[in-house]
Structure 1
Amino acid sequence: MFTPAPNNASSGFSRQRFLGGALALGGATVLSACGTSTAPSTSGSASRSASASGGPQRVVALSTGHLDYCLALGIVPVGLAVAVSEATDSRGIPDYIKQRFGDRHDLDSIQVVGQRMSPDLEKVAGLKPDLILSNKRADKGLTEKLTGIARTVQTNGGSEQFKADLKIVAEAFGKAADGERLLADYEGRAHAWGQKRGTSDTISLVRGKGDQYLYFGTLALASIVGADAGLTRPPAQQFSDTASRPLSLEQVGLLEADWLFYSFPGGSGDFAEAPLWKKLPAVVEGRAFPVDVDPWFLNASTVAADRVLADMQRFMSA
């Protein structure tokens, strides 16, 4: 696994070198997206060059959600910071992204620049980006360093913001209309399926994380997809103060719902062998299904939402 260089003086990559690199690229524009309505600015020779050729040409994406949006909008980033999970390859690109875009885009050309919370800034600068996609949850010090390399656009981050973040990325690429079309297409299919189904069944969401288990509230991507399709959450999963809460074996009853979707990768599969789990009505009646942890619980984008919606349609129509 790649280990990012530390962001301190001992790394040999000082702020002065950042500024020098930025000047070599023809000037950088500092951008902080303040809310979902902020439109990215364009100035400096790097931005003018990108605009002259129809938009940014060398994009570094600092999360897989950003990667989803880039590919959906027809742009292959030159660099990517990753969060490796059990459902990704050794390069950190989730399987569902490879399945969706592997035949259309050269994903092997994307250079991994480290982990998303601590990217290797020398590698980022070496790619000579004209746009860096970050988010507001990044460390302030990291954001300052990124804006010293190239124009940086910040998304909100968080599953509950995935629709607004698509708008920000699409506008940064000069593809606002394409972003609106992607969102309208997803929402149209979700609403149409909900109307065709004609029921507001409850869905329960749970996953394993190492030796812990988490159940999810209304902020989770899969919960939002369910709501878009007219599905509801059981009372115990209506919380919105956090995306998820810890779950013990003794609390399995909190998962009771018409349909149950779970991901127990690695050693967390023991949960599904617990007697209380096996007594849940959804499990007894064959309405509990294992799902891919990446799109369902780790990533947030319309691409992930498309996958979640397709899974729901497949499982709930069986």
Structure 2
Amino acid sequence: MVHVGRPRERVGITRRSLFGGVAGVGATALLAACGTSTAPSAPSAGSRSADAGGGPSRVVALSTGHLDHCLALGIVPVGLAVAVSEATDSRGIPDYIKQAFGDRYDLDSIQVVGQRMSPDLEKVAGLKPDLILSNKRADKGLTEKLTGIARTVQTNGGSEQFKADLKIVAEAFGKAADGERLLADYEGRARAWGARRGTPGTFSLVRGKGDQYLYFGTRALASIVGTDAGLTRPAAQQFDEAASRTLSLEQVGLLDADWVFYSFPGNSGDFTEAPLWKKLPAVAEGRAFRVDVDPWFLNASTVAADRVLADMQRFMST
């Protein structure tokens, strides 16, 4: 039996509902950290349709970035393709998305249709979608097959494109104005926090991936969030030809910054025991923080950006 995604209640996704579930931050504290200005109201969530004018009602999202933007716009997809993540459960929906939307939407109604780059086309077709969200990085052959099932809208993909991709998804639903309000709200709060902080600081981004360590340049979503808030990156992390570069234990000095944000899942936690790591001023002085790998390093959406911004506000206020 095919389960149609649906909101649990007919309530608009407001600033409070979007951020109320952020781990480690109470709703009241988070709203206070965001300033006193009133955020624009996000769209009301209809029972099944993407908009009141009869827009797409059965959407298959082929990445969690698409899922983020759909939910932020009040749309629950009927299908989702997932990426393998050490921080994601078997249903493929990251914890930060559940925390933001799990008490408002029936996320269990979303059917997993396989892996992001190789979805099960029979499962996709079986959901009878009227819109499929893919991205331009998908294999051309896959794109042709998807368009044979339903109207397919392609986003750009990549962390550096998350703002443009929100616009594409919003326009596909006939919700362009709502997308603009969501983005303006996020950017306004980032600027306001930066203005309150005054003196900018530098921050480093590093994570473990299997038996590798990666440090991130200016294309990373978390880098863009920091820039939006008036923060800067160390000279060694100003590269933009790729999202990340590999890092050896001997190169830990490249991470020197006022603040360090890291995620070392699994055995890569040994990195934090390395003498050079412990000698970093940010580490020695308590300005290095473990973060959730999904919003910080793996997903690309305004929902992920909002979580990163909230984390930065929380950590950097200490």
1:56-83 C-alpha deviation (Å, 9 max, x unpaired): 1000000000000000000000000001
Relative to structure 1, the CA distance from residue 61 to residue 144 in structure 2 (aligned partners, 3 Å threshold; closer, same or farther) is same
Shift in alpha-carbon separation, 1:50–1:109, aligned structure 2, 3 A = closer
Partner of residue 82, structure 1: 82
- Which residue matches 1:180? 180
Separation in structure 2 between the aligned mates of residue 59 and residue 53 of structure 1, nearest angstrom: 16
The answer for the alignment partner of 2:69 in structure 1 is 69
Distance 1:264 1:85 in 2: 13
Distance of 2:245 and 2:302 partners within structure 1: 24
CA distance in 1 between partners of 2:274 and 2:295 (Å)? 26
Do the aligned partners of 1:222 and 1:308 also contact (CA within 8 Å) in 2?
yes
Structure 2 residue matching 1:138: 3-state secondary structure: coil
Provide the residue aligned with 2:252 in structure 1: 252
Alignment of 1:83-98 (within 5 A): 83-98=83-98
Distance in structure 1 (CA, Å) of the matches to 2:51 and 2:261: 44
Scaled by the length of structure 2, the TM-score of the pair is 0.84
Conservation of the 8 A alpha-carbon contact between 2:50 and 2:75? no
Secondary structure of 1:242 counterpart: coil
Asked if structure 1 preserves the Cα contact closer than 8 Å seen for 2:51 and 2:175, the reply is no
Residues in 1 aligned to 2:50 and 2:199: alpha-carbon distance in whole angstroms: 48
Whole-angstrom distance in 2 between the partners of 1:51 and 1:194: 35
Aligned equivalents of 1:110, 1:53: Cα separation in 2: 23
User: Counterparts of 1:92 and 1:164 in 2: how far apart (Å)?
Assistant: 24
| 1:28-39 matches, cutoff 5 A | none
Contact map agreement 1:131 1:150 (CA 8 A) in 2 = yes
**CA distance in 1: counterparts of 2:104 and 2:273, whole angstroms:** 40
Number of the residue aligned with 2:226: 226
> Are the structure 2 counterparts of residues 281 and 105 from structure 1 closer, same or farther at C-alpha, using a change threshold of 3 Å?
same
Tell me the distance in 1 between the aligned counterparts of 2:132 and 2:76: 13
Distance in 2, matches of 1:109 and 1:50, equals 16
Distance (Å, rounded) in 1 between the aligned partners of 2:54 and 2:104 = 20
Deviation, structure 1 residue 54: 2.7
- Pair member with larger Rg: 1
Local SS of the residue matching 1:69: helix
**What SS does the corresponding residue of 2:76 show, helix, strand or coil?**
coil
- Structure 2: stretches of 5+ with no match in the other structure: 1-48
* SS of corresponding position for 2:92: coil
Q: Deviations over 1:23-63 (max 9, x none)?
A: xxxxxxxxxxxxxxxxxxxxxxxxxx988853110000000
Partner amino acid, structure 2, of 1:63: S
1:238 aligned onto 2:238: yes
1:81 and 1:113 in contact (8 A); partners too: yes
State the percentage of identical aligned residues: 90
For the 8 Å contact 2:218–2:243, the answer to whether it is kept is: yes
Alignment of 1:6-45 (within 5 A): none
Stretches of structure 1 lacking an aligned partner (at least 5 in a row): 1-48
Report the equivalent of 1:261: 261
Are the aligned partners of 1:258 and 1:287 in contact in 2 as well (CA < 8 Å)?
yes
Q: By how many angstroms is 1:244 displaced?
A: 0.1
Structure 1 runs of 4+ aligned residues shifted over 6 Å read 49-52
The 8 Å contact of residues 205 and 215 in structure 1, kept in 2 or not, is answered as yes
Structure-2 residue corresponding to 1:100: 100
Q: Give 1:84 shift.
A: 2.5
- In the alignment, is residue 148 of structure 1 matched against residue 129 of structure 2? no
Q: Find the aligned partners of 1:92 and 1:201 in 2 and give their Cα distance.
A: 35
1:246-273 residue CA offsets vs partner (Å, 9 max, x unmatched): 0000000000000000000111100011
Whole-angstrom CA distance in 1 between matches of 2:236 and 2:312: 21
Deviation at 1:160, TM superposition (A): 0.5
**How many residues in Structure 1 have an aligned counterpart in Structure 2?**
270
After TM superposition, the score normalised by the length of structure 1 is 0.84
Opposite residue 285 of structure 2, the aligned amino acid is E
Counterpart of 2:120? 120
2: CA distance, partners of 1:142 / 1:208: 30
Contact map agreement 1:50 1:130 (CA 8 A) in 2: no
Counterpart code for 1:99 = Q
SS across alignment from 2:138: coil
Q: Counterpart amino acid of 1:268?
A: S
Name the structure 1 match of 2:270.
270
